[in-house]
């Protein structure tokens, strides 16, 4: 088991310093310098997909951090890393992560602590976003909430009774793989009908393409390389197929979220990520279907909203705040 080498963290001392938040995504890795007011004051980016060697990748992250620290002439109190397939307990990104070309296990906390001599914490990217909402966003002072990230996949972080839930193997909150239809769409996890096959950016595109195929009137829209962002723009222009796509997405998402409520009795569900940028065409039907699908005992006790934090900042801020989990 990985044990943080900095056993006696003085939180007041830590809070006085700048912290680093690292958001490792399949395409880019963003390293942000965060001040004590919770603002990302500077950032550096690495192209994740160019790396096939874990040690080189982590050393480049360390170099970026040193560069930011020197350029701004500040002290760094801690480093937090949000990544897919991250193990909070071991401090490693597990082997064979779907969206990374690096296939071996990456002991990122151990390497960064050795190179930078500051405490480093790693967590799942959705958990990091949940921490970000809890400290800087609309889940401030909220002890029970679910943060759901809609992107290439669907991730989630759960807070219950004031604590982030890690679970037995640090794998709690894989809401994207909640089975909606056992005979539904094939999922990257090898099963069928998972929530993310319908409500991720990819799922939204598939729904639109299926509707377009059945429709005679698609206004010369090239559906081949269409993105969820394009479909969002079409929806806000009033395109009926795009609006229907978000109506269907909202229905599936509402069923998944209503089920999630029965596990942890949250006060709030906060959604973030690209597909939420569409706004009303998703949020309005989502609230309606959620109300329809919610078990009556939770009626009027849970709200759904889209995150108010800037997406790019939320991931960095969440990662930067991870050090709080060690206390």
Stretch that binds Zn ion, among 185-193, 232-240, 248-256, 291-299 (CB under 5 A): 185-193
Number of residues that bind Zn ion (CB under 5 A): 4
Closest CA to 140 of 112, 159, 116: 159
CB of 127 to Zn ion, least distance (A): 18
Given a contact cutoff of 8 angstroms between Cβ atoms, the answer to whether 187 and 194 are in contact is: yes
User: In terms of CB distance, is 4 or 192 closer to Zn ion?
Assistant: 192
- State how far the Cα of 152 lies from the Cα of 155, in Å rounded to an integer: 9
**Who contacts 217 (Cβ-Cβ below 8 Å, separation ≥6)?**
none
User: In terms of CB distance, is 120 or 207 closer to Zn ion?
Assistant: 207
- Does residue 189 belong to the site contacting Zn ion (CB under 5 A)? yes
Q: Take residue 299 and report the two structure tokens written for it.
A: 């009626």
Strand order in the sheet with 303-306: 163-164, 154-160, 145-150, 268-272, 303-306
- In the shown chain, the binding pattern of residues 2 to 41 toward Zn ion, with x for contact by CB under 5 A and - for none, equals ----------------------------------------
CB of 273 to Zn ion, least distance (A): 17
**Who contacts 134 (Cβ-Cβ below 8 Å, separation ≥6)?**
140, 142, 145, 159, 164, 321
CB of 187 to Zn ion, least distance (A): 3
Closest CA to 120 of 20, 27, 29: 20
Grouping H, G, I as helix, E, B as strand and the rest as coil, residue 76 is strand
DSSP 273-286: SGGGGG-HHHHHHH
- Does residue 192 belong to the site contacting Zn ion (CB under 5 A)? no
User: In terms of CB distance, is 189 or 218 closer to Zn ion?
Assistant: 189
Which 219-278 residues touch Zn ion, going by CB under 5 A?
none
User: In terms of CB distance, is 107 or 275 closer to Zn ion?
Assistant: 275
CB of 153 to Zn ion, least distance (A): 9
CB of 200 to Zn ion, least distance (A): 10
Stretch that binds Zn ion, among 133-141, 173-181, 291-299, 314-322 (CB under 5 A): 173-181
Handedness of CA 315, 321, 323, 327 (dihedral sign): negative
User: In terms of CB distance, is 4 or 189 closer to Zn ion?
Assistant: 189
- State how far the Cα of 189 lies from the Cα of 98, in Å rounded to an integer: 10
Handedness of CA 224, 229, 232, 233 (dihedral sign): negative
Q: Residues 17, 177, 287, 326: which binds Zn ion (CB under 5 A)?
A: 177
User: In terms of CB distance, is 76 or 194 closer to Zn ion?
Assistant: 194
User: In terms of CB distance, is 22 or 180 closer to Zn ion?
Assistant: 180
- Does residue 194 belong to the site contacting Zn ion (CB under 5 A)? yes
Q: Residues 20, 31, 154, 187: which binds Zn ion (CB under 5 A)?
A: 187
Q: Kindly list the residues in this chain that would bind Zn ion in the complex (CB under 5 A).
A: 177, 187, 189, 194
């Amino acid at each position: 088991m990985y044990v943080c080498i900095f056993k006696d963290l003085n939180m007041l001392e830590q809070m006085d310093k700048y912290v680093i938040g690292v958001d490792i995504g399949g395409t880019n890795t963003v390293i942000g310098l965060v001040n004590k007011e919770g603002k990302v004051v500077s950032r550096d980016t690495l192209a994740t997909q160019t790396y096939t060697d874990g040690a080189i990748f982590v050393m480049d992250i360390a170099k970026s951090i040193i560069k930011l620290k020197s350029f701004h002439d500040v002290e760094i109190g801690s480093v937090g890393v949000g990544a897919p397939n991250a193990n909070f307990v071991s401090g490693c990104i597990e082997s064979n992560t779907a969206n990374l070309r690096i296939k071996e296990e990456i002991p990122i906390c151990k390497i960064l602590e050795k190179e930078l001599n500051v405490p480093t914490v790693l967590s799942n990217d959705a958990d990091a976003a949940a921490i970000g909402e809890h400290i800087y966003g609309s889940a401030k002072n909220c002890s029970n909430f679910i943060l759901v990230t809609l992107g290439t996949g669907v991730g989630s972080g759960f807070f219950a009774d004031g604590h982030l839930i890690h679970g037995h193997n640090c794998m709690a909150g894989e809401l994207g793989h909640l089975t909606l239809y056992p005979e539904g769409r094939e999922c990257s996890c090898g099963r069928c009908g998972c929530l993310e096959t319908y409500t991720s950016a990819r799922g939204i595109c598939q729904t639109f393409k299926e509707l377009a195929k059945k429709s005679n009137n698609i206004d010369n829209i090239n559906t081949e390389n269409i993105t969820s962002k394009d479909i969002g723009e079409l929806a806000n222009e009033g395109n009926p197929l795009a609006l229907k796509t978000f109506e269907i997405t909202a229905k599936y998402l509402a069923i998944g979220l209503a089920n999630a409520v029965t596990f942890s009795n949250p006060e709030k569900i906060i959604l973030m990520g690209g597909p939420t940028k569409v706004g009303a065409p998703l949020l309005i039907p989502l609230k309606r279907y959620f109300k329809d699908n919610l078990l009556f005992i939770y009626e009027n006790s849970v709200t759904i909203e889209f995150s108010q934090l800037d997406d790019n900042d939320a991931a960095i801020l969440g990662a930067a705040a991870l050090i709080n989990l060690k206390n």
